[in-house]
Each structure stands twice: as structure tokens, then as C-alpha cells.
Structure 1
Amino acid sequence: MNEKIPETSDGKSAESRPSILKIAAIAVAIGAIAGAGGIYATGMLSGNAGGTGTACAAAIETGASLKPLLTGEVAAMAPRTQANDLSGLTFNDGDGNAITLADTGGKPRLVNLWATWCAPCRAEMPALDALQAEKGGDDFEVVAISVDGGDDAKPRAFFEEIGIETLGFYHDPTIGAFNTMKKEGLAFGLPVTVLVDSQNCVVANMNGPAEWASEDAYRLIDAVKAKSE
């Protein structure tokens, strides 16, 4: 049986999103207690080896140059100061075949880990779909990976329920992708989002939801795409 990952909040004021923040605060507290008991066992990292190295030095420089754009709706995203190569991050594609993040490469991507039981994840999914519709293509993709346990039925039903039209379907029922990001110092709850360059190196990361269908997010993605040309 897979353990649930705690939800995270978006850092906004209690007046702006009271219900999501209340749910997230409770979930994080529960997750912290569970984590102390070994919920994130290293044995769950099988098949999801990450890595670091000088190959990602350019991503750190890119992240630093983007810092002025990490404001407003994407203010919670932070540029990386250490190398994180996620080329080996493993999950399934829409046909159920095991792939790695490198298989989606050749362009910048916004990688988002989510689950149907995570209220902040559900709230931001339409915005991620809108971001893919607005900016997605050969030069950028939103890679939203469900970490729901079991088969594809539940996350696919959620996509249909809320009318997702442009996001590709990706699924990791093992929670291995989350644990890889946790080991890399990128994640502590859901949703977790990382911006990677065309070489699968992390440029910036955040925990918690954001309004991805916003001018702040669009400016950030435009800048990342421009730097990859």
C-alpha cells in the first residue's frame, strides 16, 4: 500500500485561500509526524535515480538570471543553487509504458507531481492545463505526473471530470518520482513543481500550488524558452 504524501499550501494569505490553506496545514502536520516514522523510506527510490553534477551548472546560472521574474503568482518558486539532474526520473506515459524524464526532453518543461486526494493539486490543475494550451509546443511542455496509487482509472477520471484538454497523461503509482525529488531536496509535500531545462537539469522549484494561468507564469515560461534557443 502506498503512503500518502502531505499536501502543501501556496503561501498566500488566509484571506485569499482559506479552505486550501486549512486543509494543507492539517495535511503537512500529519505528514511531518508520519515522515518521522519513515514514510519516505529510501527503498522506495528504486527505479528513480536522480543525480547531480557539473552538467547542470548552466541551469543554476539560468535560475539566477530568472530571479527577477519569480514574483507575484510564481513568487514561491526559488532558483536552484545546487545541481539537480532529473534525467532518470521514472514514470509511466499515457500508454502505461515506463519512461524517464529524459524521454520528454529537448525542451524546457514544468514538471508537476500531483494526486487526486490533494486539494491544492486539484485546485491548480485547470491552470496547468491552461499554461500548456498557451505556451506548450515543441519548445515547452507541462509534464503533470499523478502519484495516485493503483491503476490509471482515478486520475484519468479526474482529468475527464474537470475537462482537461491539453495536458498529457503521466502516472507514477509507486511514489518513486516524489521520493527521488525529496532525496534531491526538491520536495516535501504535494503539489511539487520543478522547472527543468532541455538537459533535464532543475532551474527552479517550489512546493505548493500556484496560479499558472497568469501573466507572471507566462513571462517566466517565455524567458525560459528564450534562454533555451
Structure 2
Amino acid sequence: MSQDKEAGSPRVGVLKFALWGAALVGVAVVVYIIAQAFITPRAKGGLKDLARGEMARLILPAEASAAPATSFFDADGKPVRIGDFRGKVVVVNLWATWCAPCILEMPTLAKLAEAQKGRDVVVLAISIDRDKDADKARAFIAKNAPLAFYRDPKSSLPFSLTPPTAAMPTTLVFGRDGVERARMLGEADWGGKDAAAVIDRLLEEK
């Protein structure tokens, strides 16, 4: 009996040592992670921590997706693509005059565009109204300076996105590299500090 105890005691000692060793390694890993968090509090360009307040419903894509090559039109009828603004942070808002939430949020997009003047930021409010409502859409945007009038009368752009969207309004944010970084389905306040924080984060990227 005593011999069994004596024979088992070294094994118990080794087990205790292994457990303590594992615990120390775990503590070291936690300390390292905490230290790194203080040294580099966020990954460059990461937006997850900014999905709060008015941006709480921000959808962050699981995979990088470049802006579609689909054209829409400016106020003069000239074809334009999101990729034409590469090198800037681009906020694309898909809206229509028949969409009440779109009408309500548009002044906040105008406020965002005003606040970002002089920076590498472009706010594109793209109407998907049919041709027969183009004048109505143009007049509405004219009341929301400094937004310019853009239109996609065949609603090609919403269905060219990855994934496509049928929600109105839909707002997409593209980084300087032309890749979609975030998406919002439905109305939001784009004129406040929460949206500004998202834009500022993306402007930090080079």
C-alpha cells in the first residue's frame, strides 16, 4: 500500500507541474494580448468597434468585395462608376422619391457631405427613380446641398452589388481601395458623430 503511494507520488508531482505550467502559459498569453491591445488598440481600418449608436446596424462584409463596374448617371447624363472615385472614401446612398425613410434621412447625408468638404470623401446620393420621376428627384436633391444629383433609372446598381440589395434606402461605404467596408439597410443619421467616426477610421487608411 505504502509502496503504491510512493510509486504514485512522482506522477502526481509531474501532473501538478504540468498544470501549473499550462496555467502560467495561459496567463502569459492573456498578458501579451492585453499589452498588444494597449500598444495597438485597433486593427487598421477595422470598423467592428464603431458599430454603435446610429451605426449599430452597420453590416460589415465577411469578405472583401470591390465596387461593381455598373454605370449610373450624373446630372448631365454622363456615365459614372463608383470606381471613378477610387482613392477617396465613398458613401453611396441608394434612394427613391417614393421611399419615405429615404426622404427623412437625406438631410443627414447632406450634413455629412458638408462636414467632409475638403477631405477625401465623396457622398453619392443615387436615385433609382424611373425617368418619369427624374425631375422630382432632381428637385429634391437640389434642396439638400451640397449633394449632387445622380440617377440609376434601371435600378442596375442595387442588383450588381455583392450581395444584391432591394432595401431602400441602402447606404454603402467604400474605402480608398474601392472595396466595400460597410453597409446600412434602412434609415440612419449620417450627420452625427457615429458616422463621422466611421469615415475618420477609413480616412486613416493609406
**TM beyond 0.5:** yes
Are residue 176 (structure 1) and residue 171 (structure 2) matched?
Answer: no
Q: Is residue 93 from structure 1 mapped to residue 74 from structure 2 by the alignment?
A: yes
Deviating runs (4+, > 6 A) in structure 1? none
Quote how far apart the aligned CAs of 1:89 are: 2.8
Deviations 1:141-169 (A, max 9, x none): 11110000115312112123xx2111121
Matched with 1:141 is 122
Report SS of the residue matched to 2:124: strand
SS at match of 2:157: helix
What percentage of aligned pairs have identical amino acids? 36
Normalised by the length of structure 2, the TM-score is: 0.74
RMSD of the alignment, in Å?
Answer: 1.7
Given candidates 213, 219, 222, the residue that maps to 2:191 is 213
Q: CA deviation at 1:219?
A: 1.3
Change over 3 Å in CA distance of 1:212–1:70 after alignment to 2: same
1:200 and 2:178 matched: yes
Residues 13-92 of structure 1 aligned to structure 2 (within 5 Å): 65-92=46-73
Is residue 2:93 matched to residue 1:112? Answer: yes
Deviation at 1:185, TM superposition (A): 1.4
8 Å contact 2:94–2:171 — kept in the other structure? Answer: yes
SS of the aligned residue for 2:88 comes to: coil
- Paired residue for 1:153? 135
Q: Does 1:166 align with 2:169?
A: no
Summarize deviations over 1:121-159 as a string: whole Å, max 9, x none. Answer: 000000000000001444111111000011531211212
Equivalent of 2:167 in 161, 168, 189: 189
**Residue segments in structure 2 that go unaligned for 5+ positions in a row:** 1-42
CA contact (8 A) 1:188 1:207 kept: no
Query: Secondary structure at the residue paired with 1:177?
Result: coil
Work out which of the two has the higher radius of gyration on C-alpha atoms and give 1 or 2: 2
